[in-house]
Amino acid sequence: MDFLRSQAIGLYLEQPVTWLHRIDARVKILWVLSLLISPILANNYWRLGMVVLLILVTLSTGLPMRVWKQQMGILLLLASLTYAIAIFSGDALLLNPQPRRPTSEFITYAPYRGKNCPQPQPTDYCYTLFKVGRLQITRRSQDLGVRISTVIFTYTYAPTLFLLVTATEEITAAITFFATPLRFIGVPVAELALTLTLALRFIPLVIEEVQNLARAVRTRSINWRKLGYRRSVETLIILLERFLRNLFDRSEQIARAMILRGFTDPDHHQSPWIQLQLRWGDMFLILLAILFWTVRLLWVS
């Protein structure tokens, strides 16, 4: 079960310190939101550009290959399989719809050309890109495949890379900074920031508990086939109950530690762990973000 530890999902890598680690968390949040929002209503070239951008950023950071190689490979494989499935099933699952109106004999053009286009036309446009028997790739299915595969990669890898190079305290401080105006309408920003910090800190504990239970089951050499369906379900329920009990015990220990330290109100017991400060590199990335959105809004559709 060391596989769980090797996955950089929600984990922070302290060493080595790369240029992404030194960037202000507020700027990184700005860029993550840009990468997640900009593909909406964008063309396929822009979506593919976001995938290439994430890969180039990862390579430029100098992060150890063992950290991102496996996860990026799994995401690229998943995106490729999704693309392969979508391009062959994007046009209503290859159904042959009947036209509502009869074909007019005066129409001398059709959206097909070549061996896949039965009727000639004066342009190079062809709706069917590839066809072998019942398998065909059309422009709509290709567009659908690119959209789905790029969204899967971008929306999964961008937040993971952000969590990999940003400490929990930095994330909390940045979100608290952006949510500060909500205090004027009565939103408990400090309580929400504390809850977010504890939730992010709890992710490694959950992974550790799953790993410990899996090792306990493997040590006892349980033969699931001999147990049968009913006893296997009962065993899984017992393991789930033990897992939840361990998590509640960890939560209670954290709560007692906070009470013993006199923690009663986040507004009066704040620990200034992180001092957010914009540097020249952060200002440069902010200008790049402005240019990024200018290009997206004016020239990409």
The domain spans of the chain are 1-95+110-167+275-301, 168-273
254 pLDDT band, cuts 50/70/90, is confident
Q: Answer whether 127's CB lies under 8 Å from 112's CB.
A: yes
Whether residue 286 has pLDDT greater than 70: yes
| Average pLDDT of span 20-28 | 90
The pLDDT of residue 113 is 46
Give the per-residue pLDDT at 153: 93
Nearest Cα neighbor of 167 from 116, 134, 204 is 204
b (16+ CB within 10 A) / e for 57-80:
bbeebebeeebbeebbeebbeebe
Instruction: Kindly tell me if the per-residue pLDDT of 56 is higher than 80.
Output: yes
pTM value surpassing 0.85: no
Distance (Å, rounded) from C-alpha 280 to C-alpha 265?
36
Helix H, strand E, coil C: the string for 71-106 is: HHHHHHHHHHHHHHHHHHCCCHHHCCCCCCCCCCCC
CA distance 190 to 180: 9
CA atoms within 13 A on the CB side of 115: 5
> For the segment 163-194, what is each residue's pLDDT rounded down to a tens digit?
888 887 888 888 888 888 888 888 888 778 77
Give the model's confidence band at 150: pLDDT under 50 very low, under 70 low, under 90 confident, else very high: very high
Q: To the nearest whole number, what is the mean pLDDT of the chain?
A: 78
Mean pLDDT of 240-258: 85
